[in-house]
Amino acid sequence: MTDAIQVERERGLLTLRLNRPDKKNALTRAMYSRLAEALKQADSDPEINAVLITGSAECFTAGNDIADFVQQPPSDLDSPVFHFMLNLLECRKPVIAAVAGAAVGIGTTLLLHCDLVYVSRDARLRMPFVNLGLCPEFGSSLILPRLLGQAKAAELLLLGEGFNGEQAAAWGIATQALPSGEAAFAKAREMALRFDKLPPEAVRISKQLMKAPDRDLLRKVVEEEGKLFVQRLRSPEAIAALMGFINRG
Ligand code: COA
């Protein structure tokens, strides 16, 4: 348990708030475990109609905690980060994200699995996997080329180019870009609470239909990426890049 993940309940909405401001909400193993557990509980609790994942109005998340990557790298698919990924992939309830500030690494790739994504216009999204000697994860190597075309996806995944909330919305990574982090959160909360007024079984079946065509393929890709990612973490290229971040002046 950690209060770096705050779990709040409002009617049928469960909000999971990343709350580690001193480290830009970088995600530790304990945080992934808490998120995985909360998603599972939400999925099986008939009183919960939607889940909202958010950070603060200044920062969504700086991605995986880099010190954790060095000290306790995930060794296989039975690791907290993969439990989180699989529980998000398999969540039958609608998952909504509200994003402001930095959304790095898994902070961007997790959005590809949310049903609705509201971002601040100036949110800063980035997937610097290659820059860190790593490789794409969480299905991004499948989803982004399909969504954006190979040429644009390569810019984001091979070069690690950053983009903002407005671009994320224009490209279909986000539902809508709003003027501020507060506005993005307010919109996300408003839309998430709408599920209280909709018939839950119809929502569940509709989400299932939307996800079904790619379900098995996506899971296979997430596992393949995960195995390579775990190997890459031990590579000299990754160790040099991660130590470079830790030892930066
Ligand atoms: N893991 C661990 N610590 C992190 C972190 C991460 N992913 N991202 C930020 N932090 C820590 C910094 O080390 C710093 O800690 P310190 O104050 O003890 O030195 C603190 O959070 C603030 O970070 P800082 O870089 O000073 O904030 P910023 O506003 O200038 O920049 C980011 C924010 C997110 C753009 C920048 O921190 C960053 O690029 N982080 C790394 C992101 C990343 O590569 N993630 C992994 C993807 S796989």
What's the pLDDT score for residue 249?
76
Evaluate if residue 92 carries a pLDDT over 90: yes
What's the pLDDT score for residue 190?
98
Average pLDDT over residues 204-218: 98
147 C-alpha to ligand 1 centroid (Å): 28
Ligand 1 atom 11: residue of nearest CA: 23
Average pLDDT over residues 235-248: 97
Ligand 1 atom 21: residue of nearest CA: 23
Ligand 1 neighbourhood includes 233 CB (under 6 angstroms) = no
Q: What percent of the chain has pLDDT over 90?
A: 98
What's the pLDDT score for residue 2?
54
Predicted TM-score (pTM) of the model is 0.98
DSSP secondary structure, 86-154, as one string: HHHHH--S-EEEEE-BEEETHHHHGGGG-SEEEEETT-EEE--TGGGT----TTHHHHHHHHH-HHHHH
Match domain 2-180 to its CATH number in 2.40.50.140, 3.90.226.10, 3.40.470.10, 3.40.50.150. Answer: 3.90.226.10
What's the pLDDT score for residue 164?
99
H-type alpha helices, the chain: 29-44, 66-71, 80-90, 106-109, 140-148, 150-157, 165-170, 181-193, 200-211, 215-233, 236-246
Chain segment 30-79, per-residue pLDDT in tens: 999 999 999 999 999 999 999 999 999 999 999 999 999 999 999 989 99
24 C-alpha to ligand 1 centroid (Å): 6
* Domain locations along the chain: 2-180
Ligand 1 neighbourhood includes 63 CB (under 6 angstroms) = yes
Chain segment 111-167, per-residue pLDDT in tens: 999 999 999 999 999 999 999 999 999 999 999 999 999 999 999 999 999 999 999
Ligand 1 atom 34: residue of nearest CA: 62
Ligand 1 neighbourhood includes 102 CB (under 6 angstroms) = yes
67 Cα nearest atom in ligand 1:
2
Task: Please give the Cα distance from 35 to 110 (Å, whole number).
Answer: 12
Task: Please give the Cα distance from 170 to 174 (Å, whole number).
Answer: 8
Ligand 1 neighbourhood includes 139 CB (under 6 angstroms) = no
Chain segment 186-200, per-residue pLDDT in tens: 999 999 999 999 999
121 and 178 Cβ atoms separated by less than 8 Å: yes
Q: What is the mean pLDDT of the chain?
A: 97
30 and 38 Cβ atoms separated by less than 8 Å: no
107 Cα nearest atom in ligand 1:
47
Ligand 1 neighbourhood includes 23 CB (under 6 angstroms) = yes
What is the amino acid identity at position 43? Answer: D
Other C-beta atoms closer than 10 Å to the C-beta of 7 total 16
43 C-alpha to ligand 1 centroid (Å): 32
Cα angle, residue 37 at apex, residues 188 and 197 outer, rounded to 5° = 35
Ligand 1 atom 47: residue of nearest CA: 105
Evaluate if residue 1 carries a pLDDT over 60: no
